[in-house]
């Protein structure tokens, strides 16, 4: 096995702020509480990824170190009591996200989202549909006033799902819901619509969903692992799996293989390592927290 460069040789060489006992609070966290902690770390990794611009210049270096220092020293992060993180993400950064309707996977369309959907419509389709609508909605409508050629063109897409007329997709789509229908009918209709919509977006329904196992995240040492990895990256060091296992697992509860096969992949997927496209676990955790009630804190 290749030797890691500038590797930490033992737990005693880890920074003074690290103490596994500081992470015992995670045993009491609910989904919203875990989201607040992980959201803070995710923001740190994003800042760390911004440290170098395309031309190699250093950017946001000071901010990244300040956010990291706050996380490392406090461990149990509260945006309401934060100095640096609140300036980066807002005073109510995590809680406002959990309480927002936007975090719920199904919610009423807002005017902002209506405008966003409209901006994605193909220009030609929008122009034709607008002209046709002005034509047919006139008070003095008569057969002679209708542009039949335009109407034929518009009929080819105007009654299809809106996303079929859009040139780019956000994987957020709209449905028309008849609230006069019984709930049982609506729920069955939604299931049918969902299968069709996902098929149109080439998305599979996937396996049966299971809520994040928060106790397993604690047992696997996800949070201390993330903090030590951020410290190693900002300090220009590397932590061998052996040292990492000795640091984040109580004696006899984990080892190098657990780090390599489970803790490391899970942690990287959660925070995305500075990539906007690799955060499905954190996004799902936010949706779960929002559905559970939206109060950040303990269970």
pLDDT for 259: 93
Residue 213 has pLDDT above 80, yes or no: yes
pLDDT higher than 70, residue 279: no
- The pLDDT value given to residue 24: 94
**What would the mean pLDDT of 12-28 be, rounded to a whole number?**
94
54 confidence band (pLDDT: 50, 70, 90): very low
28 or 1, higher pLDDT? 28
- Tens of pLDDT along 153-208? 888 888 888 888 888 767 778 888 899 999 999 999 988 988 888 888 877 766 56
Distance CA 187, CA 136 (A): 34
Contact 59, 50 (CB under 8 A): yes
What's residue 2's pLDDT?
45
* pLDDT attached to residue 58: 53
Beta-bridged to residue 29, according to DSSP, are: 298
* Range name among 83-87, 116-120, 230-234, 267-271 with the lowest pLDDT average: 83-87
Query: Average pLDDT of 244-262?
Result: 88
- Residue 197 is predicted with a pLDDT of 87
- Counting Cβ atoms within 10 Å, is residue 200 exposed (0-12), middle (13-18) or buried (19+)? middle
Q: What is the dihedral of CA 174, 179, 184, 188, to 10 degrees?
A: -20
Spatial CA neighbour of 76 closest among 113, 11, 25: 25
| pLDDT above 80: residue 272 | no
Q: Which of 280, 104, 267 is nearest to 203 (CA)?
A: 280
Residue 262 DSSP label: I
Give the torsion through C-alpha atoms of 244, 249, 252, 257, to 10 deg.
-50
Report the Cα 92 to chain-centroid distance in Å.
Answer: 17
Of 80-84, 207-211, 271-275, 287-291, the one with minimum mean pLDDT is: 271-275
Mean pLDDT of 76-98: 70
**Cα–Cα distance for residue pair 103/203, rounded to 1 Å:** 20
The gap from C-alpha 108 to its chain's centroid, in whole angstroms, comes to 20
Least confident of 10-19, 181-190, 287-296: 287-296
More confident residue, 42 or 227: 227
* pLDDT at residue number 118: 85
Give yes or no for residue 261 having a pLDDT over 60.
yes
Give pLDDT, residue 27: 93
* Confidence category of residue 51, pLDDT binned at 50, 70, 90: low
Q: What percent of the chain has pLDDT over 70?
A: 80
Q: How many whole angstroms separate alpha carbon 142 and alpha carbon 140?
A: 6
pTM strictly above 0.75:
no
CA distance 241 to 247: 10
- Phi and psi angles of residue 6, each rounded to the nearest 5 degrees, phi first: 50, 45
């Amino acid at each position: 096995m290749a030797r890691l460069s500038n590797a930490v040789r033992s737990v005693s060489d880890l920074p003074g702020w690290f103490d596994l006992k500081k992470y015992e609070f995670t045993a009491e966290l609910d989904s919203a509480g875990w989201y607040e902690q992980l959201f803070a770390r995710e923001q740190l990794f994003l800042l760390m990824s911004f440290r170098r611009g395309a031309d190699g210049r250093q950017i946001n270096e000071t901010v990244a170190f300040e956010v990291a220092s706050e996380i490392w020293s406090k461990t149990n992060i509260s945006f309401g009591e934060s100095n640096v993180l609140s300036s980066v993400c807002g005073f109510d950064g995590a809680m406002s996200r959990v309480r927002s309707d936007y975090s719920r996977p199904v919610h009423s369309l807002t005017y902002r989202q209506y405008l966003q959907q409209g901006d994605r419509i193909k220009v030609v389709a929008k122009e034709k549909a607008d002209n046709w609508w002005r034509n047919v909605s006139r008070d003095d409508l008569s057969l002679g006033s209708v542009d039949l050629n335009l109407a034929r063109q518009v009929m080819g897409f105007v009654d299809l799902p809106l996303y079929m007329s859009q040139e780019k997709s956000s994987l957020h789509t709209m449905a028309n819901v008849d609230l006069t229908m019984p709930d049982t009918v609506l729920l069955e209709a939604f299931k049918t619509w969902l299968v069709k919509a996902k098929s149109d977006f080439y998305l599979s329904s996937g396996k049966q969903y299971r809520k994040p196992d928060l106790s397993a995240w604690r047992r696997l040492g996800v949070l201390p692992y993330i903090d030590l990895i951020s410290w190693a990256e900002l300090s220009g060091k590397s932590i061998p799996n052996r040292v990492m296992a000795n640091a984040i697992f109580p004696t006899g509860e984990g080892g190098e293989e657990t780090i390599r096969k489970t803790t490391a992949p899970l942690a990287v997927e959660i925070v995305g390592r500075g990539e906007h496209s690799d955060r499905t676990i954190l996004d799902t955790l936010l949706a779960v927290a929002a559905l559970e009630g939206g109060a950040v804190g303990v269970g």
